[in-house]
Structure formats: C-alpha cells, structure tokens
Amino acid sequence: MNYRTIGSTGLAVSEIAFGCGGTAGLMIRGTFEEQLRAAARAIELGINYFDESPDYGDGVSETNLGRVIRELGVRPIINTKVEVRTEDLDDIAGHVERSVEASLKRLGVDWVDIVQIHNGPVAAKPELPGRAYNILWLKDYLRPKGALKGLQRILRDGKTRYVGFICRGNDARQARELIDTGSFHLVNLVYNLLNPSAGRRVPGLKSRADFGAVIDYAATHGVGVAVYNPLAGGLLTDTALTRQGPHPLSGGRSRSSEAYQASLGQAQALGFLSRPGRTMAQAATRFILDNPGVTTVLGGFSGLEHLEEAVPASGAAALSAEDMARVEMIWRANFDGAQAVPAPPGPTSLSPD
C-alpha cells in the first residue's frame, strides 16, 4: 500500500480507503463476523482510512464500525459527514455540532479526523424535499449560523482535526469559492473512466455531471481529493461486463433500467482494459491514482474478495500510453461507435461506495 498526504495537512492516508456506504453494503447489511474479518484484513493490507456518514444505513454503518474497531483494538483515520436537510436550515451550525456528537457516540470515539458537509454547494437556493440532502445553497455554507461556522466550532472544540465538503457535479465554481476561503482540507468528488471531468476537459465528451477540473484547483490550493464512485456504480467491473449478478450485500440502481444499460454499453467499450493479470476494477482504480492530485480512492467492499482485488491497484504500474490513447479516442467520440469488448471471466470485481 502506498500513501498520500491530504493537501497541506500532513495527514497521510492509504491510496485505497475503506468506504462504508450503502452501495457496497458490507458495513450495513453484513454480519458482524464479515465486517470484522474485512476490516482486520484491510488494516493488515495497509488501509488506514475509513470513510463514514450518518446517512449510511441511518447510523447503522457508524455503529458497526465502532464495534469493529473496539473489537480489533485499533484506531484508524476516520471521516464522517453531516447531512443538512430542510429542518436544519434555521441553524445549520448547531445542526453540525449535534450531528457530529451523535456520530461520535455511535462510533464510540471522542473525535474523528475529518468531518465533511455531505451536501454539494450550488449557486441558487435549492428545494430539499423530504429527507433530501444532496445539495446546499452556497450562501448556506457561508452565512452566519451556516455550515462553515458549524465546522469551525467542532474544530475549535477538538471534535475533528480537518473539515471538507462534497462535490456533486455542475458545481465547480461553487467548489472553487469554498476552496478559496482557505477553510477546507478535503473534497470528495466523482472521477472515473466514464466521467473524467474532475480531472480534465475532454473535447466531445458529454456528461450530465460536469466536475469542472476541480482536482487540479484543489491540489494547487493545498486541498486533498477523495474519489467516490470510482467504479461508476459497479459498471467498471468484470462482474458487470460479463453480466454476472451483483453481490448479495450490494445495493444501488436497477440494472434493468434504460440509463443503466446505456452506461453499461459505455463501460463495455472500455473492456479492453481488463486482461490477464489485471481486472477492470483494478484498471479503473489505477486510472484514478494516476492523477497526482487525487489523495485516495474510496473503495466499496461488499465482500473480502473485493478488498483483495482493490489493494494491488495501489502499487500497480500506471496505465500505458497505448491504453490511454485508446481511451482518449473513445472519450472524444463520446463513446459513440466504440466497439464493446466484454471483460474476460475473472474474479468478482469490487463494488464502489
């Protein structure tokens, strides 16, 4: 396992992190024995960073991780988050404090290393119906009693060491404004072979979620980058490309939907990256790590086999110039006319967080 430092913090984290979310499902729907075995193996393999949120199983994942680290007698680097919903808007700062206190109680710790706002910043005041929390008005980040004020309070009180936020796409300008405050240390965003827009702009390639080359901007401003959804919802795996069924613990979108099938066709066009000695998931993870602005990849592990598959990508060679030239041609054609190359049968590929 190789390690990278989160921006200018001096905090070194493993290139492959342990994502505890609902898509992979292990820390929510797995048995305690399965969770314990996977976490112990992750630590043995050098993973020192666990990514959490109170939204993962409505607190279940945090509770389970707390049980696991107590049983193992270890204290890895832990990130958790705060979801801001409609009922929290009158006092977001107070909600940040209360949410973090509840997370600490579930995890069984006095502090965590990183806390992030789980809402992506947007330019206009959004509607947040029901339990929605995916986006938050930029002004609600920065106003009195806003999200940043709450993060500053938990920093002051020693509840966390560093803070950050999430990008959801089409929010690059707002992300840059938050980075420019100098108050944030880590950004989570999507960057993968189906949507490389967080790393670079590709002529001809279209995506519903444009991440506006935020990675380079973060890196030049001393802010770390953690990549979520590295395998595009499990599409960039040998399992998906050979149309095998999902892992019993995994969640995510319907595989029969039109959107899923269209995205699967795009992933199949990149199937040539899977070959003897390298799975599609490993190639997809290596692509992300080839960007020096990326700090860590948030792997989602439904089973121990996914963990074993992910870790070798950290020490693997970069994707070749020939492979990337072919990928570039497919991108520039917006995946149109690309020949699908199904991945060869191989080990079950890891699911993303």
Residue ranges of the chain with pLDDT lower than 50? Answer: 339-353
Angle between the 32-44 and 60-72 helix axes, to the nearest 10 degrees? Answer: 60
| Of 47, 36, 38, the residue nearest 12 (C-alpha) | 47
The pLDDT score that the predictor gives to residue 343 is: 41
The pLDDT score that the predictor gives to residue 252 is: 63
Residue range of the domain that includes 324 = 3-352
- Sequence-ordered alpha helix ranges (H) in 208-317: 214-220, 238-241, 258-269, 280-289, 304-310, 312-315
CB atoms within 10 A of CB 326: 16
pTM of the model: 0.93
DSSP assignment, residue 301? Answer: -
DSSP assignment, residue 278? Answer: B
Domain CATH code at residue 278? 3.20.20.100
Strands 296-300 and 16-19, by their bridges, are parallel
The pLDDT score that the predictor gives to residue 253 is: 58
| Of 164, 35, 47, the residue nearest 96 (C-alpha) | 164
The pLDDT score that the predictor gives to residue 341 is: 45
- Sequence-ordered alpha helix ranges (H) in 30-162: 32-44, 60-72, 92-107, 138-142, 147-156
Q: Determine the 3-state secondary structure of 119 from DSSP.
A: coil
Query: What is the rounded distance in angstroms from the CA atom of residue 85 to the CA atom of residue 216?
Result: 30
Query: What is the rounded distance in angstroms from the CA atom of residue 247 to the CA atom of residue 239?
Result: 9
DSSP line for 181-195: TT---EEEEE-BTTB
The pLDDT score that the predictor gives to residue 255 is: 63
**Encoding tokens for residue 97?**
């404090």
The pLDDT score that the predictor gives to residue 155 is: 98
The pLDDT score that the predictor gives to residue 250 is: 75
State how many domains the chain has: 1
Backbone angles phi, psi at 350, to 5 degrees: -70, 150
Q: 210 burial class (0-12, 13-18, 19+ CB within 10 angstroms)?
A: middle
Strands 112-117 and 3-5, by their bridges, are unpaired
CB atoms within 10 A of CB 132: 14
pLDDT single digits (tens) 65-89: 999 999 999 999 999 999 999 999 9
